[in-house]
Structure 1
Amino acid sequence: MHNPLRAVRGAIAFLTRLPVGGGEAEWAAFRSHPYTIPLVGYLVGAAAGAAFFLPVQPTTVVAAYLVVLFGLSGITHADGLADVGDAIGVHGDPERRREVLKDSATGVGGMLLLAVTLVVLTLGALGFAGTDAMTAFRLVVAAEVGAKLGMVLVICYGRPAHEGLGSQLVDRADRAAYGPAVVVAAPAILLAPQGSTIALLGALAAGPLIGAVTLTWGYRALGGVSGDVIGATNELARAVGLHLGVSLWILL
């Protein structure tokens, strides 16, 4: 039986650039406890969301948010998104697309998907920068936790497309592990300021929705899922989560 605290340490080491010193034992514990992934979402979301309390212009707030977000999370998931973009642009069978995923060079498809996702993320954050700081903070946290919940869905319901880092996660988890992750993610919509509960729910729910899309694409295009698909889910779900959340906040 793995120590849950060791699993959390492994999750932080794997999903962020924080120097927590995770080793083999922490990695093994993390793989056995997927619910630790949304926990890291709270950490990353809170750190990046704190930028919305800065007494500066909205564009500077968003810039600070992006700097903290990627400075803390690193570029691993963004790299996965770029690889998926290249695979989407390839004509061929699943084997050909899997070869593209393994290619370290980034093509036009990868650069385009990465650039569009970054623009969507930036515009989503700009949509509520300069408004109520606490609600903005909660939206960022909910979108980040939701993105991580989308990753867990892909891990728990997917099958490996090939051997690699992703297969080590997918092989260890099963569908039963998704329930605890949902429980961990649920507090992201609790204690919401008046009028923002639906907005936070939308920001959170975007993660599993995007996870279902990338999972389906992975099965059809690759014959399964990979670490790149898992990382791409995180980046896409965060961007969609911010837009869905702020749209529901404004409309409702």
Structure 2
Amino acid sequence: MALSALRGALGFLSRLPVGHSEAAWEAFTASPTAFPLAGYVVGALVAVPFLAAGTLPAPVVAAGYLAAVVLVVGVNHADGLADLGDAAAVHGDPSERREVMRDTTVGVGAVLALGAALAALALGALAAAALPAFVAVALVVAAEVSAKLAMAAVACLGRPSHEGFGATVAGDKRPADLLGPLAVVVPVAVLVVPATAVAVVAGLGVAVLARRWAHARLDGVGGDVLGATNELARVGALHAGVAATALFGEVALWTRW
């Protein structure tokens, strides 16, 4: 069941060639824990460029990371962020904002949201690339796990705004269902303290804000909110982890690098 749920999560949350099946999809939508589990796999892959941190110039490492994110994750979640950006620019009630999100036209809000998120991610990657390789890799993995935990948190704490992916994932979830995902992220949270712990907490903070905004502006959460949460939580977690390293230093769980 767990492996099937992980396969379903990777099939939806990444571009990895894991195949698609109805059983895996149903297992994934029924198990919020599959979100952060998939984050470990995705995080390990997108963190590969940071193995060269300290050897290659930081801009080269950061560019490799951005390329890896696009190759492994794709643009599905970024599309959700774009739709949310357009909805945020609308002055109207929740139904009007949701209607704008269904429009295929790209507005100024979408461009601003995507541009700001990409710039922030690039700056966070540059800062991480200046750290020791082990610390940088740990932070990038933690940021990806945190982003997927944030999606699970929105699913467990939010109410669906309309029929669709959001309703499928969040419709029957309760706050207590978040305990599983929280337990899953503990290993990465303590990998390099306090940096990775701060990164995980930052992702949860983004989830709380995203859920609150969506309930107030969209009357609930949907697939676009989940996707946007992933993108924003990744950025927030990476910057928070880098900032914590700069302020407090780092202590690896097994050894100091």
The TM-score range, normalised by the shorter chain, is over 0.9
**Change beyond 3 A, Cα 1:210–1:191:** closer
Unaligned runs of 5+ in 1: none
Moved more, 87-96 or 45-54: 45-54
Matching residue's letter, 2:166:
G
Q: CA deviation at 1:130?
A: 3.3
Give yes or no for the alignment of 1:116 onto 2:96: no
Query: 1:196-241: per-residue Cα shift (whole Å, max 9, x none)?
Result: x011111111111000000000000010001000110010011111
Which of 5, 8, 11 is the equivalent residue of 2:9?
11
Report percent identity of matched pairs: 46
In the other structure, the counterpart of 2:88 is 88
Matching residue's letter, 1:223:
D
- The answer to whether the Cα contact below 8 Å between 2:138 and 2:191 also exists between their aligned partners in 1 is no
State the superposition RMSD in angstroms: 1.0
Q: Please give the TM-score of this superposition, normalised by the length of structure 1.
A: 0.95
Whole-angstrom CA distance in 2 between matches of 1:63 and 1:159 = 37
Whole-angstrom CA distance in 2 between matches of 1:207 and 1:134 = 21
In the other structure, the counterpart of 2:213 is 217
- The answer to whether the Cα contact below 8 Å between 1:84 and 1:110 also exists between their aligned partners in 2 is yes
In the other structure, the counterpart of 1:72 is 72
Whole-angstrom CA distance in 2 between matches of 1:203 and 1:191 = 11
Whole-angstrom CA distance in 2 between matches of 1:214 and 1:16 = 21
In the other structure, the counterpart of 1:25 is 23
- The answer to whether the Cα contact below 8 Å between 1:147 and 1:233 also exists between their aligned partners in 2 is yes
Which contiguous aligned blocks of 4+ residues in structure 1 show a shift greater than 4 angstroms?
Answer: none
Matches within 5 A, 1:26-41: 26-41=24-39
Q: CA deviation at 1:166?
A: 1.5
- The answer to whether the Cα contact below 8 Å between 1:210 and 1:236 also exists between their aligned partners in 2 is yes
In the other structure, the counterpart of 2:148 is 148
In the other structure, the counterpart of 2:160 is 160
Unaligned runs of 5+ in 2: 249-257
Which of 235, 239, 242 is the equivalent residue of 1:243?
239
Q: CA deviation at 1:48?
A: 1.1
- The answer to whether the Cα contact below 8 Å between 1:52 and 1:130 also exists between their aligned partners in 2 is no
Moved more, 183-192 or 201-210: 183-192
- The answer to whether the Cα contact below 8 Å between 1:77 and 1:235 also exists between their aligned partners in 2 is yes
In the other structure, the counterpart of 2:252 is none
Whole-angstrom CA distance in 2 between matches of 1:53 and 1:225 = 37
Which of 31, 49, 61 is the equivalent residue of 1:51?
49
Q: Please give the TM-score of this superposition, normalised by the length of structure 2.
A: 0.93
